Chain A
Amino acid sequence: MSLISALANVHITGQFGDHEGKNENDLLKVSEIKNLLIVQIAQYKNSSVSFESIDIDGLKIKNEPLTVTSNQNTRIMWSGPKNWLLVSSKRDLKKNILDKFKDTDFAVTDLSHSRAIIEIEGKETIEVLKKGCPFNFNTLKKNNSINSTYNGIALIVDKIDEEPNKVRLFTLRSFGESLYHSITDASLEFGYRSL
């Protein structure tokens, strides 16, 4: 089933802000990511089963802060002690997840319809994030993720790549448009290309 875009009413393609006279490839790229499977996995407090051996799409989950385990299709982000957010372009992975994480020990919740995802790519990506998020981004490396706020909006930042920096921002779907306005407003100074 395809999803209805969370940012359909605000996301317009084109070039905006201070883009004139700049090389198109040097501009920030802002895009909406759609049709991903997003699943929250949380182990119950009274559960003591080991999760280290559980394999999802060739990935093992780790209970380490900031850590993202990933392959080309799937990323599993740590979002709290024994709490992870799995994001995948393989939408049929859900059955596999439900089979492997038994409901006696884990709460598995499909959040695919309840998040808005914005991807930003470019040299100035971190500068845009710094404008609204109190986190020290010097410590955020490739394949790290954090839960934080941007202009008061709760979000998850997943750093996918470095040089150029590429991040995905996840927020509650109902806050998606507000976050999009905040991010694009902060990007105007550098000029951005909306894809």
Chain B
Amino acid sequence: MLYINCPHCGMRSQNEFSYGGDASVKRPSLNKEVSDQEWDNFVYNRKSLRGKHLELWQHISGCRQWIKVERDTSTHEIFRTFKADEEVAK
């Protein structure tokens, strides 16, 4: 079982969280011409990375906030967690 350090509540079990997908996907900016390929990339196409990955999780049975989690997809090691509106320095 994973333990995730919620930036709001502290260390909690993965059972309290819900996975929300890739946190590095950026929505195409508003009022900009968007090609079908760009829109497909935003909505559907995802990389299946092995290694460090920035993910969205929601603390659904806790504070109900969305957070960002930096996790290794092969070892499941969690390096850092951030509030959803925090910018992540690489």
Contacts and interface: CB of A to CB of B under 8 A. Distances in A.
Interface in A110-143: 134-136, 139
Interface residues of A, number: 15
A134 B11 CA distance: 11
B15 interface: yes
Contacts, number: 42
Interface stretch (A11-19, A53-61, A101-109, A147-155): A147-155
Contact of A80 (B1, B10, B16, B63): B63
Contact of B61 (A81, A136, A147): A147
A188 interface: no
B16 A81 contact: no
A99 to B, nearest CB: 27
A134 B15 CA distance: 8
Contacts of B9: 65-66, 146-147
A81 B85 CA distance: 13
A83 interface: yes
Given A134-B16, A135-B13, A136-B11, A154 B63 contact: no
Contact of A79 (B11, B13, B16, B63): B63
Interface residues on B, range: 10 to 19
A173 to B, nearest CB: 17
B62 interface: yes
A81 B12 contact: no
Contacts of B15: 134, 149
B12 A135 contact: yes
Contacts of A134: 1, 12-13, 15-16
A79 B16 CA distance: 14
B61 A80 contact: no
A147 B13 contact: no
B41 interface: no
B12 A148 contact: yes
Nearest to A152: B15
A65 B8 contact: yes
Interface of A: 65-66, 79-81, 83, 134-136, 139, 146-149, 154
The 7 closest A-B pairs by CB, nearest first: A134-B13, A80-B63, A149-B61, A147-B62, A154-B61, A134-B15, A65-B9
Interface of B: 1, 8-13, 15-16, 61-65
